[in-house]
């Protein structure tokens, strides 16, 4: 009987290389928000992968980038701390994009920050290209990472090779007991997950100016107060009232989020509510309010208030 292995793994790569989608595929449920926008992930969400022979804790960090604001600097510090603490760093490169300066810069940073951490290559989105292109990219990623690094091709969307990747990562983990009880999927507080899902819904289909400027704070979560005489009292009995504030930096951004006659904010609420109910397993009533906090990304006091 082979020994049980457990440890921490961090997916890295340029924006939109499939890191969050891969996290969700390995965990088996959505715990990381996915978006085609850079810097979508703001927190190190830990997904927990349970298998008979291993437990992998996936640390989904914000992407490493050249920072332009105090928020950017703080996100980078978060990434640096994570790199030095995990057992394996898995570099994600899409099968349908050439390796570029951004990829080389990330590898340089990893080798500087965590020279002793095991490095692994993941060629993502293999469902989008031919076999020849996959083979070509495997060679290119191998050359990028060096001869000692394994490289695994996967399609998180189609579920192809996801279990192979789990096995390869597990083989590189130290022997040891599970860190979390079976069935737990993340150690992230529910409020953080809710805030991230609301952010994801709000970023859906908006212009480039918004992603960095949007922060979401869950103000309070209360059991729904029900009037005994209300004919809908029974159906509302187990509902939760969730109050959330969406912070932007300028009034023009507030207008984008709210939309004409409040239509967009209503849509954001509907989409986020479905996702949150799925994770919590209970019905919620979502109250969303949009506020302007001028240039909060550059203001240490406001950053602290917003949880950064």
Task: Find out whether 16 is annotated in a ligand binding site.
Answer: yes
Q: Does 252 show up as a binding residue in the annotation? A: no
- The answer to whether 66 is annotated as binding is no
18 assigned ligand-binding residue:
yes
Find out whether 124 is annotated in a ligand binding site: yes
Check the annotation: does 298 bind a ligand: no
Q: Is 126 annotated as a binding residue?
A: yes
Q: Is 60 assigned a ligand-binding role in the annotation?
A: yes
Q: Is 46 annotated as a binding residue?
A: no
Q: Is 167 annotated as a binding residue?
A: no
Is 62 annotated to bind a ligand? Reply is yes
Q: Is 281 annotated as a binding residue?
A: no
3-state secondary structure the chain: CCCCEEEEEEEECCCCCCHHHHHHHHHCCCCCCCCCCCCCCCCCEEEEEECCCEEEEEEECCCCCCCCCHHHHHHHHHHHHHHHHCCEEEEEEECCCCCCHHHHHHHHHHHHHCCCCEEEEEEECHHHCCHHHHHHHHHHHHHHHCCCCCEEECECCCCECHHHHHHHHHHCCCECCCCCCCCCCECCCHHHHHHHHHHHHHHCCCCCCCHHHCEEEEEEEEECCCCCCCCCHHHHCCCEEEEEEEEECCHHHHHHHHCHHHHHHHHHHHHHHHHHHHHHCCCEEEEEEEEECCCHHHCHHHHHHCCC
Question: Is 13 labeled as ligand-binding?
Answer: yes
125 marked as binding residue: yes
CA proximity to 93, closest of 146, 15, 183: 15
Instruction: State yes or no: 6 annotated in a binding site.
Output: no
Residues annotated in a binding site: 13-20, 60-64, 124-127
Residues annotated in a binding site for GTP: 13-20, 60-64, 124-127
């Amino acid at each position: 009987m082979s020994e049980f292995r457990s440890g921490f793994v961090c997916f890295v790569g340029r924006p939109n290389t499939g890191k969050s989608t891969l996290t969700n595929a390995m965990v088996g449920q959505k715990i990381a928000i996915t978006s085609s926008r850079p810097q979508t992930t703001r927190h190190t969400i830990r997904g927990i992968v349970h298998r008979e022979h291993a437990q992998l804790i996936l640390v989904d960090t914000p992407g490493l980038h050249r920072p332009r604001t105090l928020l950017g600097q703080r996100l980078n510090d978060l990434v640096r701390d994570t790199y030095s603490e995990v057992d394996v760093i898995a570099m994600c490169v899409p099968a349908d994009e050439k390796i570029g300066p951004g990829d080389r810069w990330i590898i340089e940073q990893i080798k500087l920050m965590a020279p002793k951490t095991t490095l692994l290559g993941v060629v993502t989105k293999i469902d989008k290209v031919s076999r020849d292109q996959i083979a070509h990219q495997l060679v290119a990623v191998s050359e990028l990472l060096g001869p000692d690094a394994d490289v695994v091709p996967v399609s998180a969307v189609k579920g192809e090779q996801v279990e192979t990747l789990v096995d390869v990562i597990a083989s590189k983990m130290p022997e040891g007991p599970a860190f979390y009880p079976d069935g737990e999927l993340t150690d992230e507080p529910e409020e953080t997950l809710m805030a991230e899902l609301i952010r994801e819904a709000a970023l859906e289909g908006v212009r480039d100016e918004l992603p960095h400027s949007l922060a979401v704070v869950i103000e309070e979560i209360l059991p729904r107060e029900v009037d005994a005489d209300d004919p809908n009292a029974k159906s509302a009995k187990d509902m939760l009232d969730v109050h959330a504030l969406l912070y932007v930096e300028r009034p023009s951004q507030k207008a984008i989020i709210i939309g004409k006659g409040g239509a967009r904010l209503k849509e954001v609420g509907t989409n986020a509510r479905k996702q949150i109910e799925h994770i919590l397993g209970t019905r919620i009533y979502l109250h969303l309010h949009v506020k302007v906090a001028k240039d909060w990304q550059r203001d240490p006091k406001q950053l602290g208030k917003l949880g950064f």
